[in-house]
Amino acid sequence: MGKKFWISGIVAAVLFYLLGFVVHGMMLHGDYLQLPNLFRTEQDAMSRMPFMALANLIMGLAFAWIYRQGITAGASWVQQGVRFGIAVALMSAVPMYLIYYTVQPWPGVVVVKQIVLETICIVIVGTVVAWINKPTAQVA
């Protein structure tokens, strides 16, 4: 695991953390206020924030590691990053929010917002990780 892995993993973790805050802490905050019985109090959640940081670190490193296993030589890094982001979203965010919708009283419109916004975030992170891991130009 070389330098590009560690850089892309840490960058992915930071992006997941920041984009998660933008999506859930800002964009969907009003929607979440309508569902007070589904969430911890702000104080209780903040006391557990180290777990959020750990989760994002694990996710970022795993994301970079898996991406690096499937790099296709000669293919566009943009295409690979978008493709990977979509695949990860279809494997994680989409089914996760559909499962939450099944077992918790989430409004359908909120679930659609979560799926769309999370998918966009994952594709952004996929594209950035692909950019960091793109092949360097060979000097002849």
- Which amino acid makes up residue 63? F
What is the Cα 77 distance to its own chain's centre?
18
**CA-based radius of gyration for the chain:** 17
What are the domain boundaries of the chain? 3-132
pLDDT digits (tens, 9 = 90+) for 20-63: 999 999 999 999 999 988 999 889 999 999 999 999 999 999 99
pLDDT digits (tens, 9 = 90+) for 60-106: 999 999 999 999 988 999 999 999 999 999 999 999 999 999 999 99
Distance CA 91, CA 113 (A): 17
